[in-house]
Homo-oligomer: A and B are copies of this chain.
Amino acid sequence: MRTGIATVCLSGTLREKLQACAVAGFDGIEIFEQDLVTSPLSPEDVRKMAADLGLSLDLYQPFRDFDSVPEELLAANLRRAEAKFRLMSRLGMDTVLVCSNVGTASIDDDDLRAAQLSRLAGLAADHGVKVAYEALAWGRYVNDYEHAHRLVQTVDHPNLGTCLDSFHILSRDWDTAPIESFNPDKIFFVQVADAPKLSLDVLSWSRHYRVFPGEGQFDLAKFLGHVVRAGYSGPVSLEVFNDVFRQSDVERTAVDAMRSLIWLEEQSAKWLDANPTAAGPDGRSAGPAPGTRRRYPMELATLPQVAEPAGFNFAEVRAADTAALETLLGQLGFAFNGRHRTKNVQLWTMGHARVIINEESAGAESSGTATAPAISAVGFDVDSPVIAAARAQQLKAPAVPRKSQADEEIFQGFAAPDSTEIFLCQGSPDGTAAWTREFGEGLELPAAGRAGAPGAVIDHVNLAQPWQHFDEAVLFYTSALALEPQPYAEVASPTGLVRSQVMLTRDRGVRLVLNLAPLLQQEGAAAGPGQRRSYQEHIAFAVDDLVATARAAQARGLDFLRIPENYYEDLEARFDLEPAFLATLRELNLLYDRDADGEFLHFYTATVGSVFFEMVERRGAYDGYGAPNAPVRHAVQYDHLHQLKPTP
């Protein structure tokens, strides 16, 4: 698949955009007119620079408001077009995007439109240019891709074809299956964009909220599958108008964009395999024989295949001063499993829940600042760490080197967009981890299980995301780790709404929650050197008997997050709870939720640095996270933080 991207997707100048696209590995680009008009580079400069960078200049765009106009306006439009065609020849470009008229269309007549497009195609031919005509979703008269294609067929000129843009098609819920029957010679260009499903008017939605494939809710695998089946083999090019990408670091966004195409390519190949074509005219299936893939003009590369991770292998917290963390874990019922034989890390376990405390020194030393406790890494159980790592690498995840002694387990690690380190570990059917043997030499064994709940596991990990990398994070975890994004929730806190995006495996072995803190809080967090972020994140552990766990923790002196009495009175009003049960919740500062599928009990610890812990018990098939209780948690944590602050 030939990959492309429109310059309008990225921040910076035309020069910066071209360089970033080349570094990210794109085959070609679309030049968005405004990027050229505002550039000090001459068309000849751009042509040379693209050639030097190995980028083909695939599409000049957009040419607006051409068709469905009276004759005198048509003359002006043709004059305008000719100027652009001349410019394109200086750029060495041969395809221009002409979108259906929005602003000046006044005559709704397909014959007239066809005649006008025919004249444009003729003029284009004189200049060696091909016109790719696209139906904008909000075009005045032409807003349906099949309509645009019918016009192309009517004109039947070698220099007129159609441009298929997934946004304009999927935002209107048009059926994409008819694409398969298009003559591939008449499909001049294909643009892809994803988007969250919004109820906004389609123009605003398009101009501000498009995202890269895998970051939204469109079925792009199917769309591209139909395009492939039609026999198209040209560029598949991203055209994404997004308020955040427009301001983010250009090189980073280009990599995010490239990752989305690599992932889409794989998803489309899978869709093609899963959806063989219907029986052909001769009655035999036109689909491929089992185990073989039908060949199309467009070759779709695939990635190393991985199953979804089976569970969390470990979570790691980094801190300069680890005392508070050690106390907290001990009180929760975790057992100290000793220090690593060569690294400055401790292992704490409860059942199969493993927490590594990384006694960071190197980073803190060089920056001169001590690091407050923060979640630094998460390990996932996968079938094959090597294959999973190869997949992540092909998806352009930045590798994280971890030194290892010769006889120690090597962890394949990658940096997630929020800079958490993601490790791919060998899972084992019994939930144990071989690498734990590297810990605790000289300790009385087995340390695990001595205290706390033997059935404990990591239930979910909640990571705070910088707002400008949120969409990138969703795609990263989707593509590299095979997690599935769920509809997000919004939770009120004293400092604003917190967005909570759950990413799941189908069997719920992994629940990762991406939290988007309010902007002002993110700005205020102003991470100092060595301090990644100061807004809160947490690790939640599931146990079989939360009340017993809480009682034991209470006996060990745990500092529970104190739940206000008003909460329990509200709980009483909302649910018909047994008085004795309610009294227990109250006594132990437990929170409670219930839905049609089951019940949820949980409690929180106080926060150390930017980390706190949660203990949960899921009863029945409860699948949530106690979202109605989150505002209580936020308010109490805010009160704590506030009390710690010196009065001005």
Interface positions, chain A 436-478, Cβ under 8 Å from B, are: 467-468
Interface flag for A247 (CB, 8 Å): yes
Binds B, one of A32-40, A142-150, A337-345: A32-40
Residues of B within 8 A of A92 (CB): none
- Which stretch, A153-161, A296-304, A579-587, A632-640, touches the partner chain B? A632-640
A518 within 8 A of B: yes
A221 to B632 CA separation, bound complex (whole angstroms): 37
Contact present for B246 and A497 (CB under 8 Å): yes
A183-200 interface code vs B (CB 8 A; 1 in, 0 out): 000000000000000111
* CB-contacts of A478-523 with B (<8 A): 492, 494-497, 518-521, 523
A12 to chain B: closest CB distance in Å? 5
Closest to A635 in B: B38
Q: Is the CB of B495 within 8 A of A13?
A: no
CB closest chain-B residue, reference A42? B565
Which chain A residues (71-127) contact chain B, with CB distance < 8 Å?
A: 76, 79-80, 83-84, 87
Given contacts A87-B569, A564-B39, A564-B40, contact A492 B34 (CB under 8 A): yes
A564 close to B37 (CB less than 8 A): yes
Question: Within 8 Å of chain B (Cβ to Cβ): is A570?
Answer: yes
The reply on A402 being an interface residue by CB < 8 A is no
Q: Please pick, from B38, B76, B204, B520, the residue contacting A199 in the complex, using a CB distance under 8 A.
A: B204
Q: Does A12 contact B573, Cβ atoms closer than 8 Å? A: no
Proximity bits, A560-573, B CB within 8 Å = 1, else 0: 00101111011011
The residue that A496 contacts in the complex, of B204, B246, B570, with Cβ under 8 A, is B246
A518: which B residues are within 8 A, CB to CB? 243, 246-247
- The reply to whether A247 and B573 contact each other, CB–CB distance below 8 Å, is no
Contact residues in B for A565 (Cβ distance below 8 Å): 42
Is the pair A573, B42 in contact by a Cβ cutoff of 8 Å? no
Of B33, B36, B639, the residue contacting A13 (CB under 8 A) is: B639
Interface centre among A36, A41, A562, A635 (most CB of B within 10 A): A635
Given contacts A199-B201, A201-B199, A518-B247, contact A37 B495 (CB under 8 A): no
Given known contacts A38-B564, A566-B39, A572-B83, A635 and B13 CB-to-CB distance under 8 angstroms? yes
* Chain B residues near A635 (CB-CB < 8 A): 13, 38-39
Our pick among B247, B562, B631 for the contact of A495 (Cβ within 8 Å) is B247
A380 to chain B, nearest CB (A): 31
Which residues on the B side are within 8 Å of A636 (C-beta)?
A: 38, 40
Tell yes or no: A412 within 8 A of B by CB.
no
List the B side residues contacting A37 at CB < 8 Å.
564, 566-567, 570, 631-632
Instruction: List the B side residues contacting A42 at CB < 8 Å.
Output: 565-566
User: Inside 8 A of A16's CB, which chain B residues have their CB?
Assistant: 494
Q: Are A496 and B247 in contact (CB under 8 A)?
A: yes
State A243–B248 Cα separation when bound (angstroms).
22
Check A11 for interface membership: any CB of B closer than 8 A. yes
Inter-chain CA distance A638–B246, complex, in Å, is 14
Which residues on B sit within 8 Å (CB–CB) of A634? 38
- Which of B38, B39, B76, B494 touches A11 (beta carbons < 8 Å)? B494
Measured between alpha carbons, how far is A633 from B43 in the docked complex, in Å?
Answer: 19
* Cβ-defined contact, B631 with A38, below 8 A: yes
Q: Of B80, B200, B496, B566, which is within 8 A of A243 by CB?
A: B496
User: In the complex, which residues of chain B have a beta carbon less than 8 angstroms from the beta carbon of A572?
Assistant: 83
Residues of B within 8 A of A33 (CB): 570
Listed by A's residue number, 16 A-B pairs whose Cβ atoms lie within 8 Å are A11-B496, A13-B638, A37-B564, A38-B635, A40-B636, A40-B639, A42-B566, A79-B573, A83-B569, A83-B572, A87-B569, A243-B496, A247-B495, A247-B497, A468-B520, A519-B519
Residues of A at under 8 Å CB distance from B? 11-13, 16, 33-34, 36-43, 76, 79-80, 83-84, 87, 198-201, 204, 208, 243, 246-248, 467-468, 492, 494-497, 518-521, 523, 562, 564-567, 569-570, 572-574, 576, 631-632, 634-636, 638-639, 642
